[in-house]
Amino acid sequence: MIVILTALGVEQNAVLDHLVDIEVHAHDKGTLFDVGAVAGHPQHRIAVGVTGPGTTTAATLTERARAEFSPAAMMFVGIAGGLRDWLGIGDVVVATKIHSYQGGRSEDDQFLTRPRSWEPSHRIEQVARRLPRGHAWYKFLPEQASKAEPEVHFDPIAVGDVVLNSTTSPLAQRIRGSYNDAVAVEMEGSGFAHAAALSDQVPAVVIRGISDHADGSKATTDRAGGQQIAARNAAAFAIALVTSLEPHSGGAATTPTPPTPTVPTINNTLVARDNATVDKQIGTQFHWGSR
């Protein structure tokens, strides 16, 4: 079982498009997950949840999903704003670092950044890096979408509870100055990564499709279908990654029943002082008393 979390309905639907035999799994606190198998890959089962925007709910539901399903791995899949001109709408970014950009100390005349970052599971990242070879992951895209030849990038991202839609705002300048290796910005990855790290280091990765360029043109790009394209491509890459991992049986963790201790069978022959056989004891011999 692998858990995929998303923040928006458009992202969740893009993942569900790849699943069959979907059933609703209700958590006892009310959270609903869709559980199904990857089409054509029945051994690869996925639980899909939607968190809504923001790092706090992402962290909370990451831990809830981990405790409920005991997954072999977890992924956060969705859209992001691009911070580089060379990123195309629909390109996919696999986060090699997840920066939380809001931590710091506010002084009278400056904001002193206190960085905090997380990295993806090395094992999953290594598998993910092989998928762009020969565009192997394109088989999970519609034919028309694969003709656009979206690219996959392995780079850091910046995360915080703010929708960034400017290249000149104080926040944009802070990210550029203190997290200048980040190529994309989004709103849930740090909460997800932090919760995963605290959950016995469950293997985790963040996968994002570029839906806009965080430059003031978000509304226009969204109207042109940028979110749908980005969500579709991120989901396709995530599903390709799922099917490249070894399938694991799903379900919540169960406590194994301890083996019943066995008591050895003792066969004794009782002998009197004159070596005459008195009787045989066959069965279990118990000794009472204290040591």
Identify the CATH number of the domain in which residue 51 sits: 3.40.50.1580
User: And the tokens for 132?
Assistant: 């762009």
Per-residue confidence (pLDDT) for residue 110, from 0 to 100 = 84
User: How large is the greatest C-alpha to C-alpha distance in the chain, in angstroms?
Assistant: 108
| CA angle in degrees (0–180, nearest 5) for 126-75-59 | 130
The better pLDDT of the pair 143, 266 is held by 143
pLDDT value at residue 161: 95
Number of domains within the chain: 1
In SS3 terms, the chain reads as CEEEEECCHHHHHHHHCCEEEEEEEECCCCCEEEEEEECCEEEEEEEEEECCCCHHHHHHHHHHHHHHHCCCEEEEEEEEEECCCCCCCCCEEEEEEEEECCCEEECCCCEEECCEEECCCHHHHHHHHHCCHHHHHHHHCCHHHHHCCCCEEEEEEEECCCCCCCCCCHHHHHHHHHCCCCCEEECCHHHHHHHHHHCCCCCEEEEEEEEECCCCCHHHHHHCCHHHHHHHHHHHHHHHHHHHCCCCCCCCCCCCCCCCCCCCCEEEEEECCCCCEEEEEEECCCCCCCC
pLDDT in tens, 89-107: 999 999 999 999 988 898 8
Percentage above 90 pLDDT, the chain: 78
- Select from 60, 4, 62 the least CA-distant residue to 35: 4
For the stretch 12-45, pLDDT in tens is 999 999 999 999 999 999 999 999 999 999 999 9
Q: Could you tell me if residue 180 is inside a domain? A: yes
268 within a domain of the structure (yes/no):
no
Cα distance between residue 4 and residue 77, in whole Å = 7
The model's pLDDT over 272-285, given as tens digits with 9 standing for 90+, comes to: 555 554 454 445 44
pLDDT band of residue 288 (cuts 50, 70, 90) is very low
Cα torsion angle, 90, 92, 97, 100, sign: positive
Q: Please check the confidence at residue 270 and state whether its pLDDT lies above 60.
A: no
pLDDT of residue 263 exceeding 60: no
Give a yes or no: residue 107 inside a domain: yes
The amino acid that residue 253 corresponds to is A
Residue 228 predicted with pLDDT over 90: yes
Checking if the pLDDT of 289 tops 50, the result is: no
pLDDT of res. 276: 52
Q: What is the mean pLDDT of residues 151-160?
A: 98
Q: Which two tokens stand for residue 280?
A: 């045989």
Closest CA to 18 of 144, 146, 140: 140
Residue 65 maps to a domain:
yes
The pTM of this model reads 0.84
291 or 227, which is more confident = 227
Judge whether residue 255 has pLDDT over 70. no
In a domain, 42, yes or no: yes
Is pLDDT of 78 > 80?
Answer: yes
pLDDT reported for residue 253: 38
For residue 165, what are the domain limits? Answer: 2-244
The more confidently predicted of residues 275 and 167 is: 167
| More confident: 79 or 275 | 79
pLDDT tens per residue, range 119-128: 999 999 999 9
In a domain, 27, yes or no: yes
Any domain includes 50: yes
- How far apart, in whole angstroms, are the C-alpha atoms of residue 259 and residue 205? 37
Asked if the structure places residue 72 within a domain, the reply is: yes
Q: Which pLDDT does position 275 carry in this prediction?
A: 53
CA 78 – CA 227 distance, rounded (Å)? 9
Which tens digit of pLDDT belongs to each residue from 179-213? 999 999 999 999 999 999 998 889 999 999 999 99
Residue type, 118: W
**Mean pLDDT, the chain, integer:** 88
CB-based burial, 72-104: b 16+ in 10 Å, e otherwise = bbbbbbbbbbbbeeebebbbbbbbbbbbbbbee
For helices 55-69 and 189-198, angle between their N-to-C axes, nearest 10 degrees: 40
The count of other CB atoms within 10 Å of the CB of residue 20 is 12
